[in-house]
């Protein structure tokens, strides 16, 4: 069984979803939950993009103790310096530096020749390695890049000191078979490739981000990047919870695993959905509200006789509680605190009082509260204080 590193970019690529604009407090809340989920690496943001982003990346790096916090930088020294300022106090700082490699990007966006792109990438990695213990380099739009040129630039950044090389499908264009072949090709043709971790980063424009990520794992990727609920630019990024569960359920096939707490998945999904405002569709795999609902008579009959007739994932595995305790208008502070504790939040006296007061206000208008509602109340409370 091979451990695949989980690189979460909910707070960077995910936050690039149209309409999403997280506050400082909301980003910290999501970061804390990602730490609880157990991601290996979390990309907290793009420090050079604004002062506010710099501040939140720095605070997240200082807060998260388990796992590594990273930040994005373009291949320019000023971005790398700012990223170091933001990340240097973290437990395991690492940089994510990128440069586009495809002909379309070279010609229209960068206006650089192939040689100039290699030179800029190498220079950026060498400079970053003077500051950061771990440097990841990404070939933006790798999947529309000439394969021989991609191999050449990957070999050069490895020589320059990159520790992780990411092959993004930036525009969600590739097919799983082709994506797997890119990884195999690099494994066969690039000198030094076995000294680095190859990473997959897939967008979902053609609905294949998760399938592509799994194909990359089959062909040697040791790290997978994605977001919770698959949020992200345009049609989003690969949904990490789907990959995690696919690896678990089809262990026999993939012989690989994500070392995360699967039973934190639902809570993480609820928090990200609530704070980003990106609603999870009911039929979304793993975390949609219908993911474990059986409607038709034949299915219900089957499940009552033996769950596995129609259920390949147990709800409990991903933290969907079968708890039937309903909180409402007449519930007391003790029950409220106990439920919060079950949900993973041990509240101090003052926070419990404030959150409970907020719950009471809500219960004037609302009859029953689901776990997601309770988490929303707590998030609102934390954002307000």
What residues form the annotated binding site for Mn(2+)?
A: 13, 201, 203, 237
C-beta separation of 320 from 290 below 8 A: no
Query: Which ranges of the chain does DSSP label H, i.e. alpha helix?
Result: 24-37, 51-63, 77-87, 103-104, 114-131, 147-160, 176-189, 209-218, 240-249, 251-254, 265-276, 297-305, 333-342, 349-363, 371-384
Kindly tell me which residue out of 8, 13, 35, 156 binds Zn ion, with binding defined by CB under 5 A.
13
Of 170 and 376, which CB lies nearer to ligand KIV in the complex structure?
Answer: 170
Between CA 318 and CA 229 the distance in angstroms is 13
Rounded CA-CA distance 212/167 in Å is 11
Stretch that binds ligand KIV, among 154-162, 164-172, 275-283, 312-320 (CB under 6 A): 164-172
Cβ count near 296 (within 10 Å) = 9
Residue (of 272, 213, 221, 268) closest to 246 by Cα position: 213
- Under the binding rule (CB under 6 A), the answer on residue 15 touching ligand KIV is no
CB under 6 A: which stretch of 125-133, 166-174, 176-184, 359-367 binds ligand KIV? 166-174
Asked if 40 is part of the footprint of Zn ion (rule: CB under 5 A), the reply reads no
Task: Select from 8, 13, 26, 371 the one that contacts ligand KIV (CB under 6 A).
Answer: 13
CB closest to Zn ion, residue no:
13
CB 322 within 8 A of CB 328: no
Closest CA to 157 of 199, 192, 116, 202: 192
Site size toward ligand KIV, by CB under 6 A = 10
Q: Are 128 and 93 in contact (CB under 8 A)?
A: no
7 binds ligand KIV (CB under 6 A): no
Shortest reach from residue 328's CB to ligand KIV, in Å:
43
Draw the binding track, 37-76, toward ligand KIV (x: CB under 6 A; -: no contact).
-----------------------------------x----
- Which residues, at least 6 apart from 197, have a Cβ–Cβ distance to it below 8 Å? 5, 163, 164, 165, 222, 223
In whole angstroms, how close is the CB of 4 to ligand KIV at the nearest point?
Answer: 18
How many of the other CB atoms lie within 10 Å of CB of 76?
16
> Quick check: 15 binds Zn ion (CB under 5 A)?
no
Closer CB to Zn ion, residue 5 or residue 376? 5
Q: What distance in Å separates the CA atoms of residue 346 and residue 366, rounded to the nearest whole number?
A: 24
Determine, following the binding rule CB under 6 A, whether residue 79 of this chain makes contact with ligand KIV: no
# binding residues, Zn ion (CB under 5 A): 1
Between vectors from CA 360 to CA 355 and to CA 361, what angle results, nearest 5°?
Answer: 100
Distance, in Å, from the CA atom of 345 to the CA atom of 273, rounded to the nearest integer, reads 18
Stretch of 118-126, 162-170, 245-253, 349-357 lying at the interface with ligand KIV (CB under 6 A): 162-170
Using the minimum distance from each CB to Zn ion, give the nearer residue, 13 or 29: 13
Our CB check for ligand KIV shows the closer of 136 and 273 to be: 136
How far is 8 from 254, CA to CA, in rounded Å? 20
Contact 165, 195 (CB under 8 A): no
What is the maximum span of the chain, computed from C-alpha positions, in angstroms? Answer: 70
282's tokens: 């009911």
Q: Which helix (H) or strand (E) holds 368?
A: strand 368-369
| Token output for 124 | 């950026």
- Judged by CB under 5 A, the stretch of 9-17, 152-160, 282-290, 356-364 that binds Zn ion is 9-17
Which region among 62-70, 165-173, 315-323, 330-338 touches ligand KIV (by CB under 6 A)? Answer: 165-173
266 interacts with ligand KIV by CB under 6 A: no
| Cβ-based nearer residue to ligand KIV, 53 or 140 | 140
Residue 140 binds to ligand KIV (criterion: CB under 6 A) = yes
Give the residue with the Cβ less far from ligand KIV, 203 or 266: 203
Return the residue of 14, 67, 71, 168 that touches ligand KIV, per CB under 6 A: 168
The residues of the shown chain that bind Zn ion, judged by CB under 5 A, are: 13
The residues of the shown chain that bind ligand KIV, judged by CB under 6 A, are: 13, 72, 98, 138, 140, 166, 168, 170, 201, 203
């Amino acid at each position: 069984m091979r451990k695949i590193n989980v690189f979460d970019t909910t707070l960077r690529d995910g936050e690039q979803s149209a309409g999403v604009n997280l506050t400082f407090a909301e980003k910290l809340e999501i970061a804390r939950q990602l730490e609880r989920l157990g991601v290996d690496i979390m990309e907290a943001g793009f420090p050079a993009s604004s002062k506010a982003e710099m501040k939140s990346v720095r605070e997240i790096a200082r807060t998260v103790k388990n796992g590594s916090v990273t930040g994005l930088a373009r291949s320019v020294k000023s971005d790398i310096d700012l990223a170091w300022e933001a990340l240097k106090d973290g437990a395991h700082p690492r940089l994510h530096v990128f440069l586009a490699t495809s002909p379309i990007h070279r010609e229209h966006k960068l206006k650089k020749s192939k040689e100039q792109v290699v030179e800029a990438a190498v220079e950026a990695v060498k400079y970053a390695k003077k500051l950061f213990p771990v440097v990841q380099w990404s070939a933006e739009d790798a999947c529309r890049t000439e394969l021989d040129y991609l191999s050449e630039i990957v070999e050069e950044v490895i020589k320059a000191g990159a520790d992780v090389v990411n092959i993004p499908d930036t525009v969600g264009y590739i097919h799983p078979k082709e994506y797997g072949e890119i990884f195999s090709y690099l494994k066969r043709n690039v000198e030094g490739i076995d000294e680095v971790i190859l990473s997959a980063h897939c967008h979902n424009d053609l609905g294949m981000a998760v399938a592509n990520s799994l194909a990359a794992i089959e062909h040697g990727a040791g790290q997978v990047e994605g977001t919770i609920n698959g949020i992200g630019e345009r049609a989003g990024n690969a949904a990490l919870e789907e990959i995690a569960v696919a690896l678990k359920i089809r262990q026999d096939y993939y012989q690989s695993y994500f070392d995360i707490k699967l039973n934190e998945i639902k809570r993480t999904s609820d928090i990200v959905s609530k704070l980003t405002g990106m609603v999870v569709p009911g039929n979304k795999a793993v975390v949609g509200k219908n993911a474990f609902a059986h409607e038709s008579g034949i299915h219900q009959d089957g499940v009552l006789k033996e769950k596995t007739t129609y259920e390949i994932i147990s709800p409990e595995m991903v933290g969907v509680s079968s708890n039937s305790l309903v909180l409402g208008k007449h519930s007391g502070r003790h029950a409220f605190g106990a439920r919060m504790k079950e949900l993973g939040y041990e509240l101090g006296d003052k926070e419990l009082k404030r959150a409970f007061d907020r719950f009471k206000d809500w219960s004037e208008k609302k009859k029953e509260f689901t776990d997601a509602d309770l988490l929303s109340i707590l998030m609102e409370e934390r954002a307000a204080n």
